[in-house]
Amino acid sequence: MNRFVPLNAVLLFLLAGPVHAEKADREKPIKIAAANCVMNQKTQASVCTSDVVLTQGTLSIRGDKLTVRQDEAGNQFVAGNGSPVRFRQKMDGGNEWVDAEAQRFDYDGRTGILKLLDKAWVKRGEDHIYSDVITYDLNNEAYQAQSKTEGGRVNIVINPKKAPAP
């Protein structure tokens, strides 16, 4: 039996206030550095292994293996795994960052869906969410978290916001 956290609870945690992922990042080029990369120009697919670092604006992804492809319409698809895969991205309107980890991930640029799989967590400020699967819809700025195991749990820590100093 999967346990789902109500979407509004996750939204409260991750999207409290007018803070969103750096929108300009999606318009910037993807840059990849790795020990090994194989690219097939005909299929527009690359497989990079060993200490892979992908950057796009303020977004940074580090992992053991990344597969990147682009369809004819220019949509980008990225999948990866690691021990773990690490993500970091600056939020619009300030100096706040979102950090995340998972053993695997899939990103569909056509739908804007990022799925973090296995031992996944996301941290924004002092707030955290831990789950087997965390799905983030970049277009609607909405998260969903679920456990893959019967009786499993999703854990969220929401810290009170500190009042500004007088």
Cα 2 to Cα 65: distance, rounded to the nearest angstrom: 29
Q: Which CATH superfamily is domain 7-157 in?
A: Lipopolysaccharide (LPS) transport protein A like domain (2.60.450.10)
> Domains of the chain: which residue ranges?
7-157
Instruction: Provide the Cα torsion 116, 56, 75, 77; round to 10°.
Output: -30
pLDDT band at 15 (very low <50, low <70, confident <90, very high): very low
Contact status, residue 100 vs residue 87, Cβ threshold 8 Å: yes
What is the predicted pLDDT for the residue at 22?
56
pLDDT in tens, 66-97: 999 988 888 889 999 998 999 888 877 778 88
Whole-structure pTM value:
0.75
User: Is 78 in contact with 66 (CB distance < 8 Å)?
Assistant: yes
